[in-house]
Amino acid sequence: MSPGLRARVEVPGRLVAELEAAPGSVTAVIGPNGAGKSTLLAALAGLVGVRGTVEMGGESWTDPPRPVRRRRVGMVFQDQALFPHLDALDNVAFGLRSRGLPRRAAAARARPWLDRLGVGDLAGRRPAELSGGQAQRVAIARALASDPVLLLLDEPFAGLDVGVASSLRVELARHLSSYAGVTLLVTHDALDALTLADQVLVLDEGRVAQLGEPHEVAARPRTPHVARLVGLNVLRDGDRFRAFRPSAVTVSLQQPAGSARHRWHGTLRGMARHGDAVRLEVATGAGGPGLLADVTPAAAADLALEPGREVWLSVKETAVQGYE
């Protein structure tokens, strides 16, 4: 197997990250705003100054420093960043022409990419005449058309309508499965991480909080952000974590007497429909964890639950999974 991406980068004051990714693999990068996700992509592309090493396909991109244009990265930005003065076809052909292809040949190679992304009939339109979803398809076509070895997708579904985003997600999955290079996908969506990715990189405050397979990260999250994304309660005690499902939580108005070892007193902050259940968001006092609890709609009615109400939460030790 040829080596894929191997990187250890530091952007002073913003990011320290180390990761490896195999050829053909997709790495989802998740984390709260300001965690350094976009900075990581910019660092790998060479758009910001970094310390450390980036190796791609066995070649070093950092020693000696390789300029952005010679790295063969394909970038898709959250706001597409299509060239406003060029039509869709010229946008896609831009990378091919930059690499020396004559106008005609570049256009001939660019057009099938528009077709593949389902926007072949929009070739003559300028970005201002495209919808968000169409523009994002053109942007993906533009990134893929120049045959990159490293594909960097920065929240490609952000800002799109739910329906548009989900159909684009399905198509992107299809393209990524036949793509031989390394893909990094920044996302805010647990679904993206679970369905598109081979591994998940969790960033938090400019550091790697977790790197693992999607099911593993989903089952054993190490940051409150990921716990929220996958809908788990996670308690941290030094290096030890304890996780339990919202459905394992018992909600009562009086202090529970039974054998439950974990109990919290708190104020109900929010409630929303979640599948067949009602998901409660409870704040457990100063410094205490914010917890999720699922109850049946009937129970919610019996307990006369409403935001502001004081409640007790408890969970049985057997329902709690501990990990390091």
Partner 1 sequence: MPTAVRAPSPGRPPLVLLVPALVAATLLVLPLVALLLDTPWRGLLGQLTEPAVRQALWLSALTSLATVAGCLVLGTPLAWLLARVEFRGRALLRAVVTVPLVLPPVVAGVALLTAFGRAGLVGEPLREAFGVTVPYTTLAVVLAHTFVSMPFYVLAVEGAMRTAGGRYDDVAATLGADRWTTFRRVTLPLALPGVVSGAVLAWARSLGEFGATITFAGNYPGTTQTMPSLIYSTLQGDPELARTLSIVLLAVSVVVIGALRGRWLVGAGR
For partner 1, the closer of residues 68 and 191 by Cβ is: 68
* Phi/psi at 247 (5° precision): -75, -15
Least distance in angstroms from the C-beta of 98 to partner 1: 4
Cβ at position 45, least distance to partner 1 in Å: 6
- Smallest gap, in angstroms, from Cβ of residue 164 to partner 1? 22
How near is the Cβ of 162 to partner 1 at its closest, in Å?
27
Which distant-in-sequence residues (6+ apart) come within 8 Å of 90 by Cβ? 83, 107
How far is 120 from 112, CA to CA, in rounded Å?
7
| Binding footprint of partner 1 on the chain (CB under 8 A) | 45, 47, 67-75, 77, 81, 83-85, 94-95, 97-99, 142, 146
Residues 6+ apart with CB under 8 A from 172: 140, 153, 156, 196
Q: Which of 22/47 has CB closer to partner 1?
A: 47
Tokens at 76, concatenated: 């898709």
Please give the backbone phi and psi of residue 250, each rounded to the nearest 5 degrees, phi first.
-100, 135
At its nearest, how many Å lie between partner 1 and the CB of residue 125? 17
C-beta closer to partner 1: residue 77 or 312: 77
Question: Whose structure tokens read 């053909």?
Answer: 24
Give the span between the Cα atoms of 64 and 80, in whole angstroms: 30
Closer residue to partner 1 (CB): 90 or 189: 90
